[in-house]
Amino acid sequence: MVSINRLDQSKRAAVIRCLVEGNSIRSTVRITGAAKNTVVKLLAELGCACAAYHHRNVRGVRVKRLQCDEIWAFVGAKKKNVTLEQKAQGWGDAWTWVGIDVDTKLVVSYLLGDRGRDSAFAFILDCAERITGRPQLTTDALKVYPDAVEEVFGSNVDYAQLHKIYGAPTEEDYRRYSPARCIGCDMKTVQGDPDPKHVSTSYVERSNLTMRMSMRRFTRLTNAFSKKLDNHGHAVAVYFMYYNFCRVHQTLRVTPAMEAGSTDHAWEVEELVALLDHTPG
């Protein structure tokens, strides 16, 4: 097994490429020959570098339509099975809040937290600080959104909530672990004058599906879930950096960052790894 100090740039890139394409830590170890601790340490260091780069550079984005949603995962164990001691260590449900620009598919903002008011406010505030112009915002029907949007945006937003109505799951759904079937949607204008034709969360939900397929720790019904909250956050930061700057969108034919004007080329994974060389300290 190879330690992190002995990994060259191409080997580091191979490790990260495995992780962002849906491989677990252990399968990445088997594929690349790097030690498990090396993979985890590289993920942690690059996660911090990616989060810092996103914080500094994904700003001033002109957004006409913004869609927001939350995607569920858990660390260590699901919330209902966590003891008080484990909860203090960060175990339990972990929600990733995602805000995506519909036109460029750029993930403007993301936040790892719970599904409460404080997380909603922090997430909406971060979205507002990164975009320019008056956006049309669509979220799901989570009750903590309206107060957060009003407090952050004031009157400078056209905001609607989309409430999806699901039918009762059948016995076959339970056997196949299938989600309940959506039987309708209810649109609610919360603020401003949103265009009903563009009230949708389809793009952010599709982005969340890509996220779930691209990070092994988000895969349901496996033992690949995150064991530490910090590592979960590092993986999320690396994934979104890869998604925005490296992964060519099939419809756009360029990366979301290129479409948004944040870069002039699709980054190679080696460029992503090179962020480590520019991290302060």
| pLDDT score recorded for residue 165 | 73
Reported as a single tens digit per residue, the pLDDT across 97-132 is 999 999 999 999 999 999 999 999 999 999 999 999
Asked if residue 51 is part of any domain, the answer here is no
Asked if residue 71 is part of any domain, the answer here is yes
Reported as a single tens digit per residue, the pLDDT across 59-87 is 999 999 999 999 999 999 999 999 999 99
| pLDDT score recorded for residue 278 | 74
Asked if residue 41 is part of any domain, the answer here is no
Asked if residue 105 is part of any domain, the answer here is yes
By CB atoms closer than 10 A (0-12, 13-18, 19+), residue 149 is: buried
Q: What is the DSSP letter of 222?
A: S
In the predicted model, is pLDDT for residue 163 greater than 90? no
Asked if residue 146 is part of any domain, the answer here is yes
| pLDDT score recorded for residue 221 | 84
| pLDDT score recorded for residue 186 | 80
Spatial neighbors of 231 by CB under 8 A, at least 6 apart, are 40, 43, 44
Q: Which residue is associated with the tokens 């403007």?
A: 108
| pLDDT score recorded for residue 164 | 75
- Please give the angle made by the CA atoms of 102, 66 and 235, to the nearest 5 degrees: 80
Helices 36-57 and 229-245 sit at what angle, rounded to 10 degrees?
Answer: 60
Single-letter amino acid, residue 7: L
Q: Across the chain, where does the E strand assignment appear?
A: 61-62, 65-75, 92-101, 107-113, 131-132, 136-139, 158-166, 182-191
Question: Read out DSSP for 189-215?
Answer: EEES---GGG---HHHHHHHHHHHHH-
List b or e across 82-98, with b for residues whose CB sees 16 or more CB atoms inside 10 angstroms. beeeeeeebbbebbbbb
In the predicted model, is pLDDT for residue 280 greater than 60? no
Domain assignment of residue 142, given as a range: 61-262
| pLDDT score recorded for residue 173 | 61
Please give the span between the terminal C-alpha atoms of the chain, in angstroms, as a whole number.
Answer: 27
Structure tokens belonging to residue 166: 């699901």
Q: Looking at the 3D structure of the chain, how many domains does it have?
A: 1
Reported as a single tens digit per residue, the pLDDT across 219-272 is 888 888 999 999 999 999 999 999 999 999 999 999 999 999 999 999 999 999
In the predicted model, is pLDDT for residue 167 greater than 90? no
Asked if residue 241 is part of any domain, the answer here is yes
Task: Give the range among 4-13, 22-31, 198-207, 213-222 with minimum mean pLDDT.
Answer: 4-13
Asked if residue 13 is part of any domain, the answer here is no
Q: What is the CATH number of the domain that holds 77?
A: 3.30.420.10
Asked if residue 55 is part of any domain, the answer here is no
Reported as a single tens digit per residue, the pLDDT across 129-145 is 999 999 999 999 999 99
pLDDT top residue among 219 and 147: 147
CB contact at 8 A, 139 and 145: yes
* Closest listed residue to residue 229, CA positions, set 46, 62, 55, 94: 94
